[in-house]
Chain A
Amino acid sequence: MKTARAVAYWVGAMAIWMLLTWTMNPATLVAGAVMSLIAALWFGRELPVQPVKLLNPVRWFWLLVYVPVFAWACLKANVDVAMRVLSPGLVLRPGIIKIRTSLKSDIARTFLANSITLTPGTMTVEIKDDVLYIHWIDVRTDDPEVAGRMIKGPFEKLLARIFE
């Protein structure tokens, strides 16, 4: 298990090295391989994903679905902030509320928190196990269930298909 993680880490680090240098010079490639190997031996067991899951094409397909959904939400969030900034009065009803998530693994929860931060009007403040505390710039409901649905949107289902 640890060996597989280290190998996956090595491949990933080497891929990033090749993207950053963007050359097929043998000396550069050998240097990159050695550096990636040192990094993999040092941090390989810290890899947060199970390497078996990386080989499943269905997960990669859902990742491709996730990217445009995420980009659209990010653009909407920016237009939302622009409207609030340019309006004459301060149209804010801020508050910190808590919602629950059904995701289990750490990496899925991390991506959910990041997605929530970049969607309109919400920012993740704290994660404890399956509870997320959200700073919401415009609190529209008191019911935690409804609030959870409004804030998480389509992300939770997509991330469950990618990471779980």
Chain B
Amino acid sequence: MIDTLGWVFIVGGVLFNVLGCLGMVRFPDVYNRMQSTTKSVTLGACGILFGIFLINGFTALGIKALVCVLFVLINLPVASHALSRGSLIFGIKLWKKTIKDEFTQDRGGTSIIGGEDE
């Protein structure tokens, strides 16, 4: 019973990971791709690790998986924040249909809206 539940979590995590990769292919610019990958991979990796914990129970392996869930939850958003901030400051273009960009306005730089679909 608990094994089945663990496998459900693992399969769900893999499915969310696949959806995140699809988003990375489909979305038009760096920032939208970053959104899709961050959210999907966070839930995907946490789902897989939680499934491992359910299957193994309170053994060394299961507890390691639980601690890794915590590390992933804290670190992945920070990584995506750092990458997107670096892209903005470096001047990687936003998609041409972007509504507004208050970050570049406040820094007094020239507008970086106008990236083509890749």
Binding site for B on A (CB under 8 A): 16, 19-23, 74-75, 77-78, 81-82, 84-86, 90, 92-98, 113-114, 117-118, 121-126, 133, 135, 137, 139
Query: Do the beta carbons of B20 and A19 come within 8 Å of each other?
Result: no
B14 located at the interface, meaning its Cβ lies under 8 Å from any Cβ of chain A in the complex? no
**Contacts A/B (CB < 8 Å), 5 sampled:** A90-B27, A92-B27, A93-B99, A96-B94, A117-B38
Query: Do the beta carbons of B35 and A85 come within 8 Å of each other?
Result: no
Query: Do the beta carbons of B35 and A81 come within 8 Å of each other?
Result: yes
Q: Report the minimal beta-carbon distance from B111 to chain A, rounded to whole angstroms.
A: 11
B39 located at the interface, meaning its Cβ lies under 8 Å from any Cβ of chain A in the complex? yes
Query: Do the beta carbons of B81 and A97 come within 8 Å of each other?
Result: no
Total CB contacts across the A-B interface at under 8 A = 124
Interface centre among A90, A93, A125 (most CB of B within 10 A): A125
- A19-B67, A93-B99, A94-B94 in contact; A123/B28 too (CB < 8 A)? no
Which of B23, B43, B78, B81 is A85 in contact with, Cβ under 8 Å? B23
- A92-B97, A123-B35 in contact; A135/B84 too (CB < 8 A)? yes
Query: Do the beta carbons of B99 and A139 come within 8 Å of each other?
Result: yes
Query: Do the beta carbons of A113 and B81 come within 8 Å of each other?
Result: yes
Query: Do the beta carbons of A125 and B38 come within 8 Å of each other?
Result: no
| Nearest residue, chain B, Cβ from A94 | B98
